[in-house]
Copies of this chain bind each other. A is one copy, B any other.
Amino acid sequence: MVEVTRRREIEDAASVLFHARGYAATSVRDIADALSIRGPSLYAHVASKEDVLAAIVERVAERFERSADAAEAATAGLGANARLEALVRAHVRAVTIDPGAASVFVDEWRHLSEPRRSRILQRRDAYEARFRDVIVQGRSDGSFVLVDPGIAAAFLLTAVNGITDWYRVDGFLSPDQLADAYADLALRSLTEATP
């Protein structure tokens, strides 16, 4: 018995459409059509189109944060290699669970109005800081090369976020296989190669 609230069904349908066409190019009637109801009926469940966007963005933000929390807790006290691997794996898994919603978080937050926009930007910065911090740790203890932590974090985060551009949930590549491959690529990118 899969019991989901109507509100959540609206957000899921909106995620698919926002991912495929973008927030601005998706009308309230498009979302309603996907649920086989009329546009104005949506407003029995949501206050505005932007509220739907905000709900998706904030839910995904929480998923990323909790996922990273767990990864950091599981690798507390370990070396930078283990910690970065856990962070990347957690992120890849969070993205592959629902690439549509993840892409809304990654790409569509800028359509939020203030103060929601600023708050979500702050959370994105804090999330990115987790990656920077691990890179700083790895630089200090000799695990990683002496790359600028900001550049390296941006490189890795845009790479993992880009998964939403091409990953197919019903494809032949499982979330775990992708997490394996991306964790390897990420770790090697910061590790001195054999001459």
Contact = CB atoms under 8 A, between A and B. Distances in A.
Interface of A: 21-25, 107, 110-111, 145, 147-148, 151-152, 154-159, 161-163, 165-166, 173, 178, 181-182, 184-194
A105 to B, nearest CB: 13
A25 B49 CA distance: 14
Given A162-B162, A194-B192, A185 B155 contact: yes
A contact patch SS = helix
Contact of A188 (B107, B145, B178): B145
Nearest to A195: B194
A41 B18 CA distance: 32
A167 to B, nearest CB: 9
Which 6 A-B residue pairings sit nearest by Cβ, starting from the closest?
Answer: A158-B162, A189-B189, A24-B24, A24-B25, A159-B159, A191-B193
B25 A181 contact: no
Contact of A159 (B155, B181, B190, B191): B155
Nearest to A186: B189
A146 B25 CA distance: 41
A143 B91 CA distance: 29
A25 B18 CA distance: 13
Contacts of A21: 24, 110
A178 B166 contact: no
Nearest to A166: B154
